[in-house]
């Protein structure tokens, strides 16, 4: 049960929240996924290393930032530009 309520006290009150869950856990709790799809997603989640995934994303973003860009009034051939090695 998802609950966010304010419990009144003499000093104004405090918030009460439900137990923390991952988005995947919340999705599974809705019972909208088939058992097969839930198992597929669970398997994918088990195979995913968040730290490694973050490293890969950062490396790709770094390559993207260092890709050549258009300058001034110069027209560039897109396919040639994209084929150029990234400056790292």
Average pLDDT over residues 41-52: 95
Give domain status of residue 62, yes or no: yes
**Number of domains present in the structure of the chain:** 1
What does pTM read for this prediction? 0.50
Give domain status of residue 43, yes or no: yes
Domain containing 46: what range? 23-68
Give domain status of residue 29, yes or no: yes
Average pLDDT over residues 44-70: 89
d(CA 65, CA 58): 10
Average pLDDT over residues 30-35: 95
Could you tell me how many helices (H) and strands (E) the chain has, helices first? Answer: 4, 2
């Amino acid at each position: 049960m998802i609950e966010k309520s304010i419990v009144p006290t003499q000093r104004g009150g405090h918030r009460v929240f439900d137990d923390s869950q991952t988005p995947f856990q919340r999705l599974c709790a809705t019972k909208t996924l088939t058992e097969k799809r839930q198992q597929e997603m669970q398997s994918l989640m088990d195979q995913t290393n968040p730290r490694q995934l973050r490293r890969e994303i950062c490396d790709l973003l770094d390559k993207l930032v260092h890709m050549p860009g258009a300058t001034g009034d110069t027209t560039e051939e897109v396919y040639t530009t994209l084929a150029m090695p990234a400056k790292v």
